[in-house]
Amino acid sequence: MWGAVLALACLSACSAVSPDSWRVVPIEFDNATDGGREDRIDVTYSMTNMTDDTTGGFWTESVGSWLHLDSNGDTLRRFNGEMIATVHGISAISPTVLAVSQTGGARTGIFLYDTDAGTWTRIDVDATTIGDVTAGADGLLVYVDFLGSMVPEYMGTPPGPADLMPFAIRAVDRNGRQTTVLGPESGAVASAVRIDIDSAGTVYVSTESETFTIAADGKRSPLATYPIRKPVLAVNAAGDVLTAASPRTDTVERGIEWTMLRGSSAARDVMATKGECSPSGEAGIAVLTGAESTSLPFSCRTNGAVWLSDTTFVLSIGDEGGTILARVTPPEQHTDR
């Protein structure tokens, strides 16, 4: 059991941390661009595009700003791109090579971005309007095809019929062979889509209102439904899923303990005003482990998520007015799963 949903929280310095407590730690990192004077912060801008780096660290991208942190939270790279395209998804092939989907002029499509060399290698696919992308085993890339329409962007308000775009899920292997995972005939529409893939080849799809899986045989299975919100999705090697939490239905819910460790006063303020979920408001993010769902009451206003291991993950909590990259570790008794 990971736990239930209501929180017993400690946002200030705690003399001792219970072994039953979830640990939430804002990451302090050097925000100086490559070669610049050190500029350590733990409150930043909104991060939506996130991927593990295959070695325990992670990458983020937001409006042309790129950040690479290692497994200790130390900055490996921090640079600003050319901002000539809008990035819709990133997924690591290696610590320094990323699959990137984007739209904007000549840089529209899927590319392998060598962050050390600064080179962009196009992946040839038939789709012309591509949303999120995720990298699977043996060079497989899975991506969202918006079928020639514009790539929609969830704007924080319930979408109207004109905002819902039809989409398909496609894949391309390292030899360039293209296949369809979820075809247009499914009738799927969304105002925003996030995808991921696990080690068994199961594809996970999150829209603004539901999360479901697509097995290798094409079978579609629901995982969660929730009130309209920006989709968040991350799947670890064990098959555990981070996605939007379903509405609370229990009249009496067991509480989980959680503790925010370290963090500046500004970071604690982001958590208090944006991250903590109110009983009557947004349910935040849930960890789905098999048939068990555990809502995380410190995860409201989460815009991005990434697993660093089978038990530890990072949530991007906040908005453009202030965001923390919070490293989350479950209670000690769950780390040996």
Q: What is the structure's pLDDT at 3?
A: 44
* Residues 6 or more apart whose Cβ sits within 8 Å of residue 13: none
Cβ distance 212 to 203 under 8 Å? no
Helix (H, G, I), strand (E, B) or coil at 80: strand
Distance separating alpha carbons of residues 40 and 220, to the nearest angstrom: 45
CB atoms within 10 A of CB 166: 15
Distance separating alpha carbons of residues 93 and 146, to the nearest angstrom: 23
Distance separating alpha carbons of residues 213 and 206, to the nearest angstrom: 9
116, with CB counted inside 10 A (0-12, 13-18, 19+), is: exposed
Q: What is the structure's pLDDT at 336?
A: 45
Q: What is the dihedral of CA 30, 327, 270, 283, to 10 degrees?
A: 150
Cβ distance 145 to 167 under 8 Å? yes
Q: What is the structure's pLDDT at 264?
A: 97
pLDDT single digits (tens) 238-275: 899 999 998 865 544 456 889 999 999 999 999 999 99
Q: What is the structure's pLDDT at 254?
A: 52
Please tell me the chain's helix, strand, coil percentages from 3-state DSSP, rounded to the nearest 5. 10, 45, 45
Q: What's CA 85's distance to the chain center, in Å?
A: 20
Q: What is the structure's pLDDT at 11?
A: 53
Positions of the chain with pLDDT under 50: 1-8, 12-13, 251-253, 336-337
Q: What is the structure's pLDDT at 4?
A: 40
152, with CB counted inside 10 A (0-12, 13-18, 19+), is: buried
pLDDT single digits (tens) 54-83: 999 999 999 999 999 999 999 999 999 877
- pTM summary value: 0.92
Q: What is the structure's pLDDT at 251?
A: 41
